Structure 1
Amino acid sequence: MDAADWLMLQGSQPEFVAPKGVIVPYRSHKPKVWGFVQANYREDYGKSLIKNGSNKTPFSLLNPDLKDNSGLNVFRARLALRGMADNENKVNYFVMTEFGNNGINNLAGHSNVATYFSDASVTLKYIPYAKVRVGKFKYPGSEEGLQAVFVSPYVSFTTMTNQQLLERQIKNVGTAQTGAAAGGASTVHYTSTSIDQPIGAFRDTGVQIFDTVKVKDNWAVTYAYMYGNGTGIANSNSNDNRTHYGYLALEDTYGGRGYFTRCMKFYVWGQTGKRVLLSNNTSSIETTRKRYGLGMTYYNHGIRFEAEYMKAKGMIFTGPKDTDSNPLINDWQFQYAFGEENVADGGYVNLQYELMPKKVEVFGRYDYQNRLTNDVKGERDFKTLTLGASYRFKGATRIDFNYAFRDAKAPGNANAQKVLDNMGNRLEVQITAAF
């Protein structure tokens, strides 16, 4: 997790530096083709609990398809094209596709329509201190979601980010549920009746105004505001889910370039948007989805430190639910505590140290999530400690070893705790090949 200015790295071609930090002596509008592949082996040591034919333990199965608790997977395979469309570097473009087996193409075992364009945007740089980016791209937000995934040594996202920030797009839901149907919760839950959209992937389609402005010596302020459709990377122009995104960061840069920038950064971010669903194909229900947080990052002298706190209100994701009573078939749908009165909070602390500069690294991350703290019976508390090591062959091409110690509690619900007791630790090994 490099302490980098991700908004500028991803949304704007630098004046004299190529995308991976290579100094070039001239401006060229020759397109830069690049990409990466991430293949991994994961094994979950949790147990499965089948009750009345339904699987109650999706947390013991591996994403994206939630079918097995161990296996090999080509998780990401992305090809990208970026560059400047003119000699003056006033018009930049960025396009990326996804060929891997993940939530973009195979969410919860519901195979979507093959490869998606995860990114397709144009940035205009005509207005001083106000670059304008239009299209589909990563929205300004949490550091964990905003950073380039191929530079992180962690195979999985933190629990709070995975459940509450990485949005699952749903359109149709069934009957409102409480009590046993909602895991004992007294708050109103809805379960999707179909999954036909890719995961949000921390992206949206819209327009963004952003820039980084020097303020004193090596200090700079980065800001961004984006107005988006709120539909993730799905090809939809609906205004029903319109969402506002805001971001502000203060950075002290020590040196380095591109993804290897050495700096200290403090940031805050927030997003709010409408979510409209159709219930039983008869009536629409509407709420507001809010997410916000603050954090800091530091990278210098081979040490990376990062900490972030996040809060969620409305559209609280409470996990996949097996809706098929056949024990041999899992039909995973998504369950939400829909109303804005529902809340969750969480965060993480990450520490990495390079034993050999840009070659051998060890790391540890503690993350937590307190979900539905407004509901005694519905509250679930998650804690994960991930330890690991990385060996870099060259640049971002490396092998990462992760071992996650996972724990979950239902402090006010003994029956739910019996289900959570089936959660186990997880081993993950991933190879990243970048070009």
Structure 2
Amino acid sequence: MQEVQVKRAGRVLAGLVLALLLGVSPAAAVNWLMLQGAEPADADWLRLGGFVQLEYHNAGGGQLPAGPFAGQPLAAGQVGPLQRSSVATELRKLQLAARGRLHPSLNYSLKTISGDNGASRIDGGNRLRLIEASLTWRLPLGPYLRLGLFKPPGAEEISGFSPPNQYVNLTNGANLLLQERFFREDGSDPQFANEPGICGCCRDLGLLLFDAQRLADWEWSYGAALTQGYGLRLNDPNDHPDLYLYLALERLWGERKGMQRLGWKLFGWWQEGRRDLTDGLTGRTQDYRRCRFGGGTALQTDRLRLVAEIIKAKGMIEFGTDGSALAGSRSNDGRWVASYNVLPRDQALAWSLDAGWRLWRGLWLDGRYDRLDLATEITGERELRTWTAGLSWRMPSGLQLKCNYEWREGRAPHQPRQSAVNQILAELPNRLSCQLLYLF
């Protein structure tokens, strides 16, 4: 039944692709620091904009083949963030924004979001949430100082995600290691589902010092931020700020600007902070180190896009749910409840390769491979691998269409092949995702 639905949706969306018209190229070699934090000298005091993002997902469904929750729905086969169905058509995001220049050396940015996403509807409600509110001041000596709620510098995939990212879904590494979700406990309480609150949305409250300098055809940029470390929660339960560091060097080609720049970029970044977490069995709360760092390279020509990126994580590793069941599900023997688990002292490593080829005008053929080695310090380590193939179409009118198909697989390398966990990982379903986005 699921395969029939996937094939039917694929035929419909292929027709939509052929129906769309002209397009522009995607972004890969963009200076996100300057694009998101600064304004050109001739900018107006008020520019309104935003986007509407409609999505179709078929996560594949399926039931758990083994373990204490055998026969119940497989969490990976449900559409997030609420995981109530394996197939969904939804308004994923509605973003409203205002930005502009208040003074030759002062600009601002405001953004709100609503829809079926981890920021505005994680608890089953539907609200308008502020995700960006910042002021940027050009200091007398040259650098920029940004204050407020903003997206700190970091991984290339996170910096440019939705829009203008060319894929519908994040890689496993970006989703589980960088898109931070805040949990009350570690998941050891057998009667508590430990569901997350609002996600960090890769944003934080604090200050950012940044700048970019160009010499001939080369440009280098840097950023250093101090933030509270708790994303959109806007409150910090401990006294440990997060530190962000970022450095990039880029060889530019031609005179294109903004998201249409052509070039080759090398970049590296670091994030360091601490998080509070309660032991579900003892009730003791302790703060733990949360460190993320990585780097990579991005190449963008008129017809070709190549991006390679690596992410290393130390501490506060999100490890999924008990038995890969839906959080809150009761085991078949009725003795315990499936909960989200967090490993406060473990590590993880993720990397990805992305390639795109312009077929015609704004129509791009996209391919990506990503791998995540999760919880590498224990025998329960997971290896998650995903191949993604897709088409993306970007038009000058502001319409964008993306269609992705993901082949998902996994294994627990230190567990027997016939163990429950390996039987479950062998049943990971493939996923079809499509997105229609209108920028205004």
Task: State TM-score, norm by structure 1.
Answer: 0.86
Judge conservation of contact 1:173–1:191 (CA < 8 Å) in 2: no
Identify the residue that residue 388 of structure 2 maps to in structure 1.
386
Q: Which residue of 2 aligns with 1:24?
A: none
Question: Could you say what secondary structure the match of 2:33 adopts?
Answer: helix
The alignment covers a number of residue pairs equal to 401
Unpaired runs of 5+ residues, structure 2, are 1-26
Partner of 2:163, secondary structure, is helix
Counterpart pick for 1:35 among 50, 56, 59: 50
Alpha-carbon distance, 1:66 to partner: 1.1
User: Percentage identity across aligned positions?
Assistant: 28
Q: 1:375 aligns with which of 374, 378, 381?
A: 378
Structure 1 partner of 2:277: 277
Q: Check whether the contact 1:191–1:335 (CA below 8 A) recurs between aligned residues.
A: no
Work out which of the residue numbers 72, 78, 84 in structure 1 matches 2:89: 72
Residue of structure 1 aligned with 2:39, choices 13, 16, 23? 13
Secondary structure at 2:174 match in 1:
helix
Q: Map 1:24-423 onto structure 2 (within 5 A).
A: 27-29=43-45, 31-49=46-64, 55=72, 57-86=74-103, 88=104, 90-107=105-122, 110-111=123-124, 114-173=127-186, 175=188, 193=194, 195=196, 197-214=197-214, 216-254=215-253, 255-280=255-280, 282-321=283-322, 322-325=327-330, 333-339=339-345, 342-357=346-361, 359-376=362-379, 378-394=380-396, 396-413=398-415, 414-423=419-428
Higher strand share: 1
1:22 is aligned to none
What is the DSSP-based 3-state SS (H/G/I as helix, E as strand, rest coil) of the residue aligned with 1:85? strand
- The corresponding residue for 2:22 is none
Tell me what 2:431 maps to. Answer: 426
Q: How many Å separate the matches in 2 of 1:226 and 1:165?
A: 16
8 Å contact 2:330–2:338 — kept in the other structure? no
The letter for the 2-side match of 1:367 is D
SS in 1 for 2:232: coil
On the 8 A contact 1:263/1:298 being kept in 2, the answer is yes
Q: CA offset at residue 172 of structure 1?
A: 4.0
The AA in structure 1 aligned to 2:176 is Q
Deviation at 1:218, TM superposition (A): 1.5
Q: Give unpaired runs (5+ residues) of structure 1.
A: 17-26, 182-189
Q: Distance in 1 between matches of 2:238 and 2:224?
A: 18
Distance in 2 (alpha carbons) for counterparts of 1:335 and 1:133: 35
2:233 match: secondary structure: coil
- Matched to 1:131, the amino acid is Y
User: Relative to 1, partners in 2 of residues 1:245 and 1:395: Cα closer, same or farther, differing over 3 Å?
Assistant: farther
**Structure 2 length normalisation: TM-score?**
0.85
Cα separation, partners in 2 of 1:56 and 1:170, compared to 1, 3 Å: same
Give, in whole Å, the separation in 2 of the partners of 1:210 and 1:141: 13
Say what the alpha-carbon RMSD is for the aligned residues.
2.4
Cα distance, 1:173 vs structure 2: 4.6
CA drift at 1:191: 7.4
Aligned to 1:19: none
Inter-partner Cα distance in structure 2 for 1:164 and 1:105: 20
How far apart, in 1, do the equivalents of 2:188 and 2:60 lie?
Answer: 34
Where 1:418 maps in the other structure, the secondary structure is helix
Q: Distance in 2 between matches of 1:136 and 1:213?
A: 25
